[in-house]
Every structure is written in C-alpha cells, then in structure tokens.
Amino acid sequence: MTNFSELNISESTLRSVKRMGFEEATPIQEGTIRFAIEGRDVLGQAQTGTGKTAAFGIPLIEKIDPKNPNIQALVIAPTRELAIQVSEELYKIGYDKRVKLLSVYGGQEIGRQIRALKNRPQIIVGTPGRIIDHINRRTLKLEDVQTLVLDEADEMLNMGFIDDINAILENVPTERQTLLFSATMPPAIRKIAETFMRDPEIVKIKAKELTVDNIDQYFVKSAEREKFDVLSRLLNVHQPELAIIFGRTKRRVDELAQALSIRGYLAEGIHGDLSQAKRISVLRQFKENKIDILVATDVAARGLDISGVTHVYNFDIPQDPESYVHRIGRTGRAGKSGLAVTFVTPREMGYLRIVEETTKKRMTPLRPPTTDEALEGQQRLAVETLEGLIANNNLGDYRLFAAELLENHEAVDIVAAALRSLTKEPDDTPVTITEERPLPMRRERSNKRSNDRSRGGNRSFSGGGRRENTRSGDRRNNSRRDGARREGGRREGGQGRSRSPRRHED
C-alpha cells in the first residue's frame, strides 16, 4: 500500500491526515487522490467503509483557497447521517488549513442554516432536498463551485433524488471537477457519468474486495414466528461487543428494540421517524458503548461509520442484494474480522441464493442454538469475567470477605455462586413482534413500496410462541404511521415539481 506522504499532498493536509491516524492509503484513496490532485474527474466504485470520504476529501481540501470566501466545493449525500459524518471528516482533514464548511440537511431548522450561510463557508455538504430548498430561496449560491462530489450515488437514485440532482447540476458551473462514488454501477449511474463528467478516470475496487472476505457469513433458516427467540439465543451465545440488527420497517425496528430491552439487552432503535436529536443521541450512545445493540432500517444505517461493530444480524433479509453488501459492511472494518447472520424463512431460500450470486460468496448454514447452549454461552462469559478480575489482581478488600466465606462454605460452592450471580440466564418473556410476509422471490430490484398497506395480511405473534390478534383498524393506523416520508420532512420552500418515485423506509 502507498503512504500518504507519497501522494503529493501539502504539509498542512498531511499533518491532519496523520493526526487522524491514517498512514497508508487504501486502494480507493490511492487511485482517487492521484487523479483528483491532477484535476481529473473520477468515477469510483467503492462501498462504505473503504475510506472513500478521505479519498475525495483530501484532494477537495487541497483545492480550497482559504482566502476565497465563496463556496468552492459541494458534496451531495443521500442521508443526513452521512452528510454529518462527511462534514466531520472533512473538518478534520481541513483543520490545519482552517477551511470553513457547513452541512445542510432536512430535519434541521432552516433559519439556522440560512444564518450560518452568511458566515461564508467554503464547502457545503448536504442532502439533495435541502440543497434545492436553499437554491430556491436564493440563500445558496453555487456559481463559484470548483469541485462537485456525489457520494453514494446509487443510493440517491434508489431514493428518487434524480430530479433534485439534475436541478442542482443546473446551478453548478459546467467547468468544474466532478467526483462520483457508488457501491454499484447500474446503467443509470453510468448515464450520469456520461452526461455530467468529462472523461472520468475509473477507480474500481476488485470484486473480491466487494464480497467482504473478512466477514464470516451465515444464514439461519427459521419460521417467522420463531425468529426472535432464535435471535435472543444467538445473542447469548455470540456475546457481541457491538451489534447492529437490521429490520425491514420502522415499526419492525421499534418492536425489536423494545422486545430486546424487555429481555434485558441494552438496545436502541434508529429510523427515519426519530427526531434528529434522538438519532444523534442514539448513535453517540452506541459509539460510546453505552448500548450494545443498535436496531436500524437500511435508510437510517446508510453511511454509518462506526468502528468496533463485531456482529451484524439481518432479522429481515434485505430487499435487494446490494443492500446486503452495505449491511454486512458495517462490520469487519479496518482489517478486523466480523460476523454476519441472516434470517431466512423457508419461502425466502430462493432469494437467498440470488444474494449469494451477487456477493459471489456462499453463506454457511447455522443451526439455531438451543436454550441450554444459550445458557452455556452466558456461563462461559461469567467465567471469563471472573478470570479477568483475577488477572487484573485488583481485588483489594474483597479478599477479606472471601476468607470469611471460606470459613463457612466450600470453595466450589462460593465460585459457583459467583458465576451464577454473573450469569444472565436466557429470558423467555413473551414479546410481540409483528409478523411480515416473506419477500417475493425476484431478480429485479424491489420497488420498495411494499409497505403495510400492501401487506394487509400481517399478524402479530409473541416471541414466546403465543399468538395475538391484530385488529384491521390497528393495521390501517400502523400503515399510515409507517408510510413513506420524504427525507427531512416536507420540502421547505419547494416548487412542487413532479419527481421520480422515492425509496421508502417503511
């Protein structure tokens, strides 16, 4: 691998990169930086977690003139979470150069953004809808933009942002540098490249790197009503340090997070209906290890850059194979190994094979652990905890109490009692999870509009095996509550243009 010092980067940017802990460039970084520094357009194929933010961020920062108060660069991201994370990394890269940047996205009070724009930021990072809002309000002027970045381009197309992208490009100078990144390269992405880029250099990660070889991939075949109990037992056996569980709908995420909490796990959910403050709070707790399990929808988790995730569980198999790659890419980062488990119902086995064809890797069947095996996993954890305490040799006055216990009890009984106090025995408290129909087996990408209104036959079941009835009126209310909602809420100051169907997070 190439050291950053070999990539013709200025001293100020190199200092920032070293401060961030980067030494050697990843393949996507090396290829992109070499071409972008020369002013070439770049079309990069890379999934989240390969270092693409630094790949476009370093040459972008290099090109910024700190004495020029105008907006010189625009980065477009599909979600507010990704926009925030990109902004944070660009701030770190441009710290020594004192570059001013601002992120604009839906869900944040637009008046605050308008006031911030008056401070003359040099880089704007934003979501398409909110960028269009500012353009329509004439609070965002892009005539001096020299560098345009489209991040997660395939996801923006999936979410229906193509009209917004075209409108934004109409307000950006044609004489500019364009850097486009996408995990996949469908025809629509190639058309954008042909239309809006000038002889782009293609930087593509090898196919084997897209299959995430450092992640052990398993599938568990389970009936829908049994999935939650199996998940609970797997968590007890695996003992993940940090885990992400993916659910298909917002209601699914809420129910899973609540059910896990009932059974004693430290879990929180994240999806598009949460306020921005709540989402940031949950992510902060997860990053700080205050919660062990993050339950999320695809849209909410898109672009999350959280280190240390050891396990990913697909409680619902993704609605398209590409999403599967993005999901499991949350683990196995920075050269570390990871583990991914996907739940499939018998009717979804054919679809599982389609996913395997896309990733070019077979998943290993995993037998669901029994209740006794789950208990044994907890007991092993208790033993490891005691051994760790002994190894640290920080027992202090506890030795005095131990001596008193030994006078009245057998040593084996004392140790057994200590182990039992540390063991979280498997909990079979009944919990309610709404049952969903399996995905239809199809090769083409789902239109993602299969929300609760088209699944009117849903019914509820308890993780303990007890069925419950769901009134049709409740289903109607739930489908309204879980209906698709545009990123950042309704457009503020929008012009009511017709647009392509948007990807939904229901």
* pLDDT for the residue numbered 381: 67
Is the pLDDT confidence value at 56 over 80?
yes
Residues 367, 255 contacting (CB under 8 angstroms): no
Give 124's pLDDT tier (boundaries 50, 70, 90): very high
Cα–Cα distance for residue pair 167/248, rounded to 1 Å: 31
Provide the pLDDT for residue 67: 92
pLDDT(317) > 60: yes
* Highest mean pLDDT pick, 105-114, 128-137, 236-245: 128-137
Q: What would the pLDDT profile of 357-388 be if each residue is shown by its tens digit? A: 777 788 999 988 777 766 676 667 667 767 77
* Percentage of the chain exceeding pLDDT 90: 32
DSSP for 433-463, written as a single string: EEE-PPPP--SSPP-S---TTTTTT-EEEET
What pLDDT shows up at residue 375?
64
Average pLDDT, rounded, for the chain: 79
Q: Higher pLDDT residue, 154 or 77?
A: 77
Contacts of 306 (CB under 8 A, 6+ apart): 242, 283, 286, 287, 330
**116 has pLDDT over 70:** yes
Higher-scoring residue by pLDDT: 257, 212: 257
Is it the case that residue 205 has pLDDT exceeding 50? yes
Rg (CA), the chain: 25
Q: Which domains does the chain have, with CATH numbers?
A: 4-207 (3.40.50.300), 211-368+428-481 (3.40.50.300), 371-422 (no CATH)
The rounded distance, in Å, linking the Cα atoms of 481 and 252 is 12
In this predicted structure, what is the pLDDT of residue 491?
38
454 pLDDT band (50/70/90 cuts)? very low
Q: Where are the beta strands (DSSP E) in 97-237?
A: 101-104, 123-126, 147-150, 177-182, 201-204, 215-221
DSSP state, residue 24: B
The whole-model pTM stands at 0.55
pLDDT band at residue 99, thresholds of 50, 70 and 90? very high
pLDDT of residue 428: 64
Rounded Cα distance between 314 and 302, Å, is 14
| Across 154-182, average pLDDT | 88
Measure the CA–CA gap between 315 and 399, rounded to whole angstroms: 45
Share of the chain above pLDDT 70, in %: 77
- 21-25, 126-130, 401-405, 483-487, range with the lowest pLDDT: 483-487
Signed CA dihedral, 345, 349, 355, 360: sign only: positive
Instruction: Over range 439-453, report the average pLDDT.
Output: 41
Question: Picking from 84-88, 94-98, 114-118, 323-327, which range would have the lowest pLDDT averaged per residue?
Answer: 323-327
What pLDDT band is residue 430 in, cutting at 50, 70 and 90? Answer: low
Highest mean pLDDT, choosing among 221-235, 327-341, 437-451: 221-235
Task: Give me the pLDDT at residue 335, please.
Answer: 65
- The pLDDT of residue 411 is 82
Residue 391 has pLDDT above 50, yes or no: yes
- Of 40-44, 266-270, 352-356, 446-450, the one with minimum mean pLDDT is 446-450
